[in-house]
């Protein structure tokens, strides 16, 4: 291999590409590391089919609906899934129901004319019983039943 030396001995006019390629590779590695860490959308939990179709529990056993029923002239009456319950028995019953459940979801349904303070009390009792998620059933939801 032979090198030719210019007669002028001055600086060369060519760009040295090696540092630019090094910077490009470093940036490429940085972007490859950052892109998988960016947050994604919401993860949805899809219901899985039961492993044993003969042992499917009834849906009513899983869904807990506490109803606040308006009694004109008296205080409201309460039901847990169509079972009448006194107000003082609500906390022990709900604590017993949710003591061995992994899914702690409860729905509260109030009559049209019932004061919301009674519904708020049921929400507080549900939280005290260890319920994680409490949903309010609106008339539109109740119409579909």
Tell me what pLDDT residue 60 has.
47
Tell me what pLDDT residue 56 has.
47
pLDDT single digits (tens) 105-141: 888 888 888 888 888 898 898 898 888 888 888 766 5
Tell me what pLDDT residue 23 has.
93
Q: 127 has which bridge partners?
A: none
C-alpha angle 108-112-117 in degrees, rounded to nearest 5: 60
Tell me what pLDDT residue 40 has.
65
pTM for the structure as a whole? 0.54
Domain 57-143 falls under CATH 3.10.450.50: no
Per-residue model confidence as pLDDT tens for the chain (145 residues): 455 555 566 676 777 888 899 999 999 999 888 877 666 666 666 666 767 656 544 544 578 888 888 888 778 888 888 888 888 888 899 888 888 888 888 888 888 888 888 888 988 988 988 888 888 887 665 455 5
Residues 6+ apart with CB under 8 A from 137: 65, 107, 108, 109
Tell me what pLDDT residue 25 has.
94
């Amino acid at each position: 291999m032979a090198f030719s030396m210019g007669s002028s001995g001055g600086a060369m006019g060519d760009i040295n590409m090696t540092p630019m390629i090094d910077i490009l590779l470093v940036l490429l590695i940085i972007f490859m590391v950052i892109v998988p860490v960016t947050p994604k959308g919401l993860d949805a939990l899809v219901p899985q089919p039961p492993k044993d179709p003969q042992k499917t529990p009834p849906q009513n056993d899983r869904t807990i609906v506490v109803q606040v029923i308006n009694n004109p002239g008296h205080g409201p009456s309460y039901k847990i899934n169509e079972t009448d319950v006194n107000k003082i028995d609500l906390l022990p019953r709900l604590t017993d129901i949710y003591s061995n459940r992994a899914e702690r979801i409860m729905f509260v349904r109030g009559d049209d004319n019932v004061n919301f303070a009674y519904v708020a009390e049921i929400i507080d009792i549900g939280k005290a019983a260890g319920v994680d998620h409490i949903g309010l059933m609106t008339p539109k939801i109740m119409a579909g039943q």
